[in-house]
Amino acid sequence: MDFFRNFPFISIVFSLFSAVVCSLLPGKAARIWTIAAEAILALLSAGTLLYTVILGESVTYRMGHFGAPWGNEIRFGMLEALTALVFALVLLLSVTGGARYVIRDVPPKKINLYYLLINLLGAALLALVYTNDIFTGYVFLEILTLTSGGILMIREIGRTTLAATRYMILNLLGSGLFLLGIILFYDVTGHLLMPDMHEALLELGKSGEYALPLSVTTGLVCGGLAIKSGLFPFHTWMPDTYGFATPTSSAILSGLVSKGYIFLLIKIMTRVIGLDNPILTVARNILFLFGLLGIVAGSVLAIRQNSVMRMISYSSAAQIGYIYMGIGLGGTAGFAAAIFHLLTHAVTKPLLFLSAASLMEVSGDSPVFHDLQGAAHRNRGAGFLFTVGAMSMIGIPIFAGFTSKLLFSLAAIGHLPFKTFSVLVILAVSTILNTLYFIRTMIRIYTSPEGKKEDRTPFGPQLSCVLSGSVMAAMNVILGLQSQPVLALIERGLALFS
C-alpha cells in the first residue's frame, strides 16, 4: 500500500514519457498508446485517491534527494487526487469520444503530433494539480499554454489560426503577469515552495513589512491566472477557440485547461497567501465582481448566438464566472462550492461539445440552429446526451449542475447582505437565462421541420462518441446524486490545504 504514494510522480513522468513515445509512432498507434496512457493515468489517480482517503492526511513527496526548502516537491491530499482523477477520466473520454473528429480535422501525417500534445497536456494538468512548488507550477503552466494552442491550431482552417493567435496573445499576457508575480513573491519571501512561502508571508504579515509589493504581487498572480482561465472581460477568445477547434480540442480546452489554471489559483490562495490574509481581500472582491458580471454577460451573449458551438462557448464564459464567484465568496463553503462546480463543469462541458459535434455531423456539419432542426432524431444517442448536459447546465435536480447552484447559494448565506443578495439574484437570473438558451436548443433538435421524414438512427455514424458521452453523463449524475461524499472529500482536502 505504501507504494501508492509514488503514483502521482509516476503519472506525471509517465505522461511526459508517452509524449516522447508518440513522437516516434505513426498516427494510429499514437492514438492507441494515448488512450492506454490516459486510462493508466486514471487508474493511478484512483489509486492515489484511495491511498489518501485511507491515510486521512496529505503526503509531501520529495522529487529527488533534497527536501524542503532546497529541492522540488509535490504534494497530494484527497482534493488533489480527486481533481486529478476527474481530469484524467475526462481527458480519456474526450480522446476516445472525439477520435473520429481528430481523423476528420487533423492532417493525417500530424495525427501523432496531436496525440503527443494531448499527453503533454495531461502531464501539465496533473503537475499543476500536484505541485507544491510555485515555480514548477509556472513551468507546467507554460506547457499547458503551448499545448492548448497547439491542439487548437492543428485544424488547419483560417479561423483556427486566427483564434489561436488571439488565444496566445491573451494567454501570454496572463503568463507574463503571473511570472512577474512569482518573481516578486520570491524576492520578498526568498522561497519557492508553498509552505515555506506561506510561513515567510505570515511573518511579514505580523511585522507589516513589504505590504505594498505583496499586494501588487497578489494582484498580478490573481489577474494573470484569471486572464488565462478566461474570466470576463477576458473571455473574448473563447467563442472562436472553442467554436472552430476540432471537437476533442474544444472539449479539452473548455473542460480541463481553464480548470487547471483555476486549481493553481485556488492552491496559491489557500496554501501560499492564506485565506485569512488581509492582502487577499481586495483581490477576492474584484474576482467576485467580475465573476458576477461574467455570469450575466456570458449568458446574454450565449442567447444571441446562431451557432450551437458558439453558444456553448459563451456558456463556458458564464460557468467560469460561477467558479470565480465561489472563490470570491471565500470561506470553506465558497471554495468547496467553487471546486465542486469546477468538477461539474469539467464533466459537463466536454459532454456538450462532443454531443453537439455528433449532432452537427448528422446535419451536414453545420452548427447553425436552423440546420440542427430534428438532429436528435437523426442521432438519438447524441440528442439524449446533449439534453443531459443542457439540463445539468440549467440546474435541474439529479444532475450535478443543480447541486453546485445549491452549494453556491448556501455558501452565500452569512456574508454581508449585499454579497448574499447579489449572489442569490445573479443565480436566479442566470438560471432563467440558461434555461432560455438551452431549452431553445433542445426544442430545436427534437422538432423536425414539418413534413420532413427523418431517417432515425440510434447513435449516428459512430458508437464511441455516444459511449464516452454516456460515461460522462453517468459521472454527472453521480456527482449530482452522491454530492455529499464528494463534498466531504473536497472539504477534507481543503482543510488539509491550510
Partner 1 sequence: MRIVDRIRRWLSESPDLLEDAGGIGETRDLPREVMRREQHEADRFLSEGAKSFDRKKFRTVYGILAAASAAILIGVLLTAVAALPRYGVENERMDEVADYYIDHALEDTGAVNIVSGMILDYRAFDTLGESFVLFTALNCVLILLRRDEPGEEGEDDYYDLTHDNILRKAGLVMVPSVILFGFYVMLNGHLSPGGGFSGGAVVGAGLILTAAAFGNAVSARIVTEKTFRILSGTALGFYCLAKSYSFYTGANGIESVVPLGTPGSIFSAGLILPLDIAVGIVVSLTMYGIYRMFRKGSLT
With respect to partner 1, which residue has the nearer C-beta, 63 or 396?
A: 63
Min dist. Cβ of residue 66 to partner 1 (A): 5
Q: How far apart are CA 473 and CA 188, in angstroms?
A: 47
Binding to partner 1, residues 134-153 (CB under 8 A): 135-136, 139-140, 142-143, 146-147, 149-150, 153
Instruction: Answer for the pair 493, 78: CB distance below 8 angstroms, yes or no.
Output: yes
373 binds partner 1 (CB under 8 A): yes
With respect to partner 1, which residue has the nearer C-beta, 149 or 326?
A: 149
Out of 56, 66, 397, 474, the residue judged to bind partner 1 by CB under 8 A: 66
Min dist. Cβ of residue 348 to partner 1 (A): 23
130 binds partner 1 (CB under 8 A): no
Out of 120, 339, 359, 433, the residue judged to bind partner 1 by CB under 8 A: 120
Q: In a 10 Å sphere around its CB, with 0-12 CB exposed, 13-18 middle and 19+ buried, how is residue 464 labelled?
A: middle
64 binds partner 1 (CB under 8 A): yes
Stretch that binds partner 1, among 225-233, 330-338, 366-374, 385-393 (CB under 8 A): 366-374
456 binds partner 1 (CB under 8 A): no
Q: In a 10 Å sphere around its CB, with 0-12 CB exposed, 13-18 middle and 19+ buried, how is residue 16 labelled?
A: middle
Instruction: Answer for the pair 86, 343: CB distance below 8 angstroms, yes or no.
Output: yes
* # residues near partner 1 by CB under 8 A: 74
User: How many residues would you count in the chain?
Assistant: 498
Closest CA relative to residue 237, chosen from 155, 148, 165: 165
Out of 55, 300, 371, 409, the residue judged to bind partner 1 by CB under 8 A: 371
Min dist. Cβ of residue 402 to partner 1 (A): 23
The amino acid sitting at 260 is G
Out of 20, 36, 410, 428, the residue judged to bind partner 1 by CB under 8 A: 20
Min dist. Cβ of residue 236 to partner 1 (A): 15
With respect to partner 1, which residue has the nearer C-beta, 99 or 192?
A: 192
With respect to partner 1, which residue has the nearer C-beta, 66 or 421?
A: 66
Q: How far apart are CA 198 and CA 209, in angstroms?
A: 15
403 binds partner 1 (CB under 8 A): no
Residue 64 is placed in which grid cell? Answer: 529527488
* Alpha-carbon dihedral angle through residues 407, 408, 409, 412, given to the nearest 10 degrees: 120
Closest CA relative to residue 479, chosen from 371, 345, 311: 345
With respect to partner 1, which residue has the nearer C-beta, 58 or 404?
A: 58
Q: How far apart are CA 374 and CA 443, in angstroms?
A: 9
Binding to partner 1, residues 43-62 (CB under 8 A): 61-62
Q: For the chain, percent helix, then strand, then coil, each to nearest 5?
A: 80, 5, 15
Binding to partner 1, residues 308-347 (CB under 8 A): none
Min dist. Cβ of residue 71 to partner 1 (A): 5
3 state SS of 116: helix
Out of 117, 283, 292, 473, the residue judged to bind partner 1 by CB under 8 A: 117
Q: What angle do CA 74, 121, 334 make, to 5 degrees?
A: 60
Binding to partner 1, residues 202-231 (CB under 8 A): 203, 210, 212-213, 216-217
Residue 84 is placed in which grid cell? Answer: 486529478
Q: How far apart are CA 352 and CA 10, in angstroms?
A: 32
With respect to partner 1, which residue has the nearer C-beta, 8 or 389?
A: 8
Min dist. Cβ of residue 10 to partner 1 (A): 8
Q: Taking CB under 8 A as the rule, which mask of x and - marks residues 462-481 in contact with partner 1?
A: --------------------
187 binds partner 1 (CB under 8 A): yes
Out of 35, 39, 40, 63, the residue judged to bind partner 1 by CB under 8 A: 63
Binding to partner 1, residues 166-185 (CB under 8 A): 180, 184
Distance of CA 297 to the CA centre of its chain: 20
Q: How far apart are CA 394 and CA 441, in angstroms?
A: 12
Owner of C-alpha cell 508518440: 22
User: Other C-beta atoms within 10 Å of 206: how many?
Assistant: 8
Instruction: Give the single-character DSSP code of 310.
Output: H
With respect to partner 1, which residue has the nearer C-beta, 31 or 444?
A: 444
Out of 286, 436, 467, 471, the residue judged to bind partner 1 by CB under 8 A: 436
380 binds partner 1 (CB under 8 A): no
Q: How far apart are CA 378 and CA 390, in angstroms?
A: 19
With respect to partner 1, which residue has the nearer C-beta, 259 or 310?
A: 310
Q: How far apart are CA 470 and CA 346, in angstroms?
A: 15
The amino acid sitting at 149 is G
Binding to partner 1, residues 230-289 (CB under 8 A): none
Owner of C-alpha cell 453546485: 404
Out of 275, 286, 368, 429, the residue judged to bind partner 1 by CB under 8 A: 368
